[in-house]
């Protein structure tokens, strides 16, 4: 039995993993679907001070309080930034990593520096409060504004991810134009320490390719035995 900690992407809450969390439990695993500060049911906590460090602390605090070790950490999209920060700061609590159409930063990277010009335009389309980015039209109706500071802040990492037994990268192929994650995918494809999985899916892989994603997640858990 493995413990999964599922981290959503920008504008989403733990609800985005609904197609998978119950199925993982049916396989006998523990599953924790997290919502980050300022999003979804925690949207009342959104403020100009919420940044990437806030979200990394969200997950760190959770795994520490729950005494989780050897977890399978799964992050979608922006959630990859959070995964990397958690794995760097508390490697003893992480067994394997699954990045789902996500950023995989190196020290000093940010979503802003890693993404495409089109996505940067979205980041700067802040709402009336001046510090939150509105959901894109194709997002689920439950999506809520996302703190701009978390997309601009550079991550600070002391090492790399080579110490973890398994690192999976899931890449959605059905983007209109080039995916903002294409540079990340190209970098990892040339790294023998990573398993890269192209899936015939739109960006919301949890919704559009749940069977294939479940298989990858279960394989990641099995690697911890």
- Domains of the chain: which residue ranges? 3-222
pLDDT band at residue 16 using 50, 70 and 90 as cut-offs: very high
Give residue-wise pLDDT tens across range 49-74: 999 999 999 999 999 999 999 999 99
- List of E strands, 24-131: 30-33, 71-76, 94-100
pLDDT of residue 4: 98
Cβ(62)–Cβ(32) under 8 Å?
yes
Average pLDDT of span 28-45: 98
Give the whole-number percent of the chain exceeding pLDDT 90.
95
Does domain 3-222 correspond to CATH entry 3.90.1010.10? no
Q: Which two tokens stand for residue 36?
A: 């980050």
pLDDT of residue 94: 97
Q: Residue 5 above 90 pLDDT?
A: yes
Cβ(35)–Cβ(42) under 8 Å?
yes
pLDDT band at residue 165 using 50, 70 and 90 as cut-offs: confident
Smallest Cα–Cα separation from 175: which of 196, 197, 198, 203? Answer: 203
The whole-angstrom separation of Cα 124 and Cα 140 is 21
The whole-angstrom separation of Cα 97 and Cα 93 is 11
Give residue-wise pLDDT tens across range 84-111: 999 999 999 999 999 999 999 999 999 9
Pairing label, strands 94-100, 146-147: unpaired
Q: Looking at the annotation, which residues are catalytic? A: 77
Burial of 19 (0-12, 13-18, 19+ CB in 10 A): middle
pLDDT of residue 225: 80
CB within 8 Å of 170: residues ≥ 6 apart: 98, 99, 100, 101, 197, 199, 205, 213, 216
Q: Residue 81 above 90 pLDDT?
A: yes
Single pTM value for the model: 0.97
Average pLDDT of span 125-134: 96
């Amino acid at each position: 039995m493995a413990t999964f900690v599922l981290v959503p992407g920008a504008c989403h809450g733990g609800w985005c993993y609904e197609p998978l969390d119950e199925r993982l439990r049916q396989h006998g695993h523990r599953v924790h679907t997290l919502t980050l500060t300022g999003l979804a049911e925690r949207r009342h906590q959104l403020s100009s001070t919420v940044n990437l460090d806030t979200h990394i602390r969200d997950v760190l605090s959770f795994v520490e309080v729950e005494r989780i070790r050897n977890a399978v950490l799964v992050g979608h999209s922006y959630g990859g930034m959070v995964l990397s920060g958690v794995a760097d700061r508390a490697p003893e609590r992480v067994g394997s990593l699954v990045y789902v159409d996500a950023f995989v930063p190196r020290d000093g990277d940010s979503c802003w520096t890693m993404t495409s010009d089109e996505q940067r335009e979205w980041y700067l389309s802040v709402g009336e409060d001046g510090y939150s980015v509105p959901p894109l039209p194709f997002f689920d109706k439950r999506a809520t504004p996302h703190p701009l500071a978390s997309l601009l802040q550079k991550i600070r990492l002391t090492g790399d991810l080579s110490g973890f037994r398994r690192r999976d990268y899931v890449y959605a192929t059905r983007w209109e134009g080039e995916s903002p994650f294409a540079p990340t995918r190209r970098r990892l494809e040339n790294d023998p320490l990573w398993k890269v999985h192209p899936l015939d899916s739109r960006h919301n892989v949890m919704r559009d390719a749940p069977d294939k994603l479940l298989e990858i997640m279960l394989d990641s858990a099995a690697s911890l035995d």
